[in-house]
Amino acid sequence: MSEYKHQHPFMIILETVKSIVYAIPPIFFFALSRRDELGNVNIPLLAAIALIAILTYSTTKWYFFTYQYENGYLHIRRGLLFKKERSIKRERVQTVNVITNFIQKLLGVTSLHVKTAGSMEAELSLTAVTLQESQNIKTYLENHTTNGSGKNHAEESETGNANVNTYNVPLLNLLLAGATSGRFMLLFSLIAAALSQLYPYIPESYMGLILEQVIPRNNINISLLLILIFGLLLLSWIISTLVFAVQYSNFTLQRQEDDIRISYGLIEQKEYNLNMKRIQALSVKDSLLRQPLNLCSIYAEVAGGSSEKQDYVTTLYPLLNLRELSRFMDNMFPEYIIPENMHPLPLRSRKRYIIRLLVPAIVIVLLLQLVPYGWVSLLVLPPTFLLGLSRYNTGGTAILEKQLTLRFRNIHRYHVFVLRDHIQTMQISSNPFQRMSDLNTIGISVLSSRGGNRFALADIDRKESGKIWNWFSRN
C-alpha cells in the first residue's frame, strides 16, 4: 500500500485567499452601516487576528486532508475532531474535471473535482495539486475500461489508432458570441441594483449636481436621461462581450469514440470530460440576437450532474453558423440526426398562441392606464402579438426511427433532439378548449438535473400526438 498524500502546500494560500474574498462583501456593507461606531475600534489588530485565524484553519484543513488511489479505489481521509474516511470504486467515477484559475496558474497548481454516478456534488475536490499529479489521477480514474483488443483509451491515443474529432472556436467568433449572448441585460440589471444599494452613500453634493443636469428647474431632461441609460447599456454590452470572450477563450471540443472533452478559459481554465452515455438530449438554441445572423449555440442535457446548472446543462459549442450545423452533428454527434422536414402546428392553433400572450398583456395595459404615462404601455401590444405569432410559426415536431425532435420558442428558438431510449416519461394532455379543437400538449422528460428536465410543445394536432405516442410506446 502506498502512503496517503497531501495536497500541495499552496492549498493553504488558496484557501486563505478564498476565505478573505468571501468575507469582503459582508464586511464592507457592515462597515458602511456601522461606520459611526468604528472610530474606537483597532481595525489593524482585528484584521491581523482574523488573518491568523484563517491561516490556522487553512493549515489544519490541509494537514488533515489526505488521499490515495490504488487497487481500483480512491481513498479519502479528512477531519480533525470528526474524522471521515471514504473509498470510491473507480468504476463509479463519471467525470474528472480540472479547473485552473489565475492564481493557481501563477503558482503552478490546479484543482480537480471527481464526481460519481448518483452523486449531486463532487465526491473529491482537490484545491491544489500539481499539473502532473492532476493528470495522473485523471488517467488512473478514467482509463479503467478496455476495448476488445485489451487496450485502454490512453494506449489507443498513444498508438494513434483512435479517431479524434476536434473543433476550436476562433477569438472573433467568441467576441461575436459574447456580443449576441444577451448577457448585457443581466449585467445592466446588476449594475442598476448595485447603484440602488450604494445610492444612500453617495455624497449629496454629487447627487445634487447629477439631478440638476437631469431635472433642471423641475423639468425632466429626457434627452440627457436617455443618453445616460444608453451609455449604461453600451457599457454593459462591452463588458459582457469581453467577459464572455475571456471566459470561453481557447474553447476546444474533442471527441474520441464515446469520450468527449471540453476545455476553455483564459483566467480560469476549465476542462470537463463526459461520456456519450450521459448525454440525454441535445438542444440547439437560436437566441433572439443571433437569429438575424443565422447563428446558434449547442447544449447537452447531462445525466448525473450536480445541483449546479453547468453540470447538467453543458455548453457543447458556444457559437456555430446554422449552415455548418449538419456537418458539425455528423462529425461530432452522429447519433443525432437533423430532420429534413418538421411537421408544423395546425392552422387552428395560431389563434391560441396569440391569445395566450395577448390577453394577459391587454389586462396589464388596461390597469396601467390608471397611472401617469400609462399610455406608454400600449407599445408592448404589437411585440406581444408578433411573439405569439412567431411561437406558432416556430412550433413543430419530427419523428425518426430512434429520435424525436421538438421545435419551439420562448423568446429564443430551440431545437431539441432526444433519442427514444433517453426519454424518461412522456405525457399527452389537453384542456377542455384544446379538446374542442382536437389539440393536445406533449411533454417529455429526460434525466439531467435532480428533478429532471422537461420539454413541452402545446397545441399539436391530435393525430400527430397519437403518432408520437405510438412511436414512444412500441417495443
248 C-beta neighbours (distance < 10 Å), count = 21
pLDDT value of position 251: 93
Residue 192 predicted with pLDDT over 80: no
Q: For residue range 10-37, what is the model confidence (pLDDT) as tens digits? A: 899 888 988 888 888 777 766 666 666 6
131 C-beta neighbours (distance < 10 Å), count = 14
Q: How far apart are CA 399 and CA 114, in angstroms?
A: 37
Residue 348 predicted with pLDDT over 90: yes
Residue 149 predicted with pLDDT over 80: no
Backbone angles phi, psi at 208, to 5 degrees: -65, -40
Region 299-321 average pLDDT: 75
Region 47-67 average pLDDT: 89
Confidence of residue 444 (pLDDT cuts 50, 70, 90): very high
Region 179-196 average pLDDT: 71
Q: How far apart are CA 46 and CA 390, in angstroms?
A: 60
Backbone angles phi, psi at 63, to 5 degrees: -70, -40
pLDDT value of position 311: 55
pLDDT value of position 217: 53
Q: Are 87 and 116 in contact (CB under 8 A)?
A: no
Name residues whose C-beta falls within 8 Å of residue 262's C-beta, 6 or more positions apart in sequence: 251, 252, 253, 254, 270, 271, 272, 273, 274, 314, 315, 316
Residue 140 predicted with pLDDT over 90: no
Q: How far apart are CA 311 and CA 448, in angstroms?
A: 9
Residue 285 predicted with pLDDT over 70: yes
Region 208-225 average pLDDT: 57
pLDDT value of position 75: 86
3-state secondary structure of 21: helix
Residue 55 predicted with pLDDT over 60: yes
Q: Cα 171 to chain center, whole Å?
A: 20
pLDDT value of position 40: 65
Region 131-149 average pLDDT: 71
Residue 305 predicted with pLDDT over 70: no
Q: Are 77 and 258 in contact (CB under 8 A)?
A: no
Residue 353 predicted with pLDDT over 60: yes
pLDDT value of position 154: 46
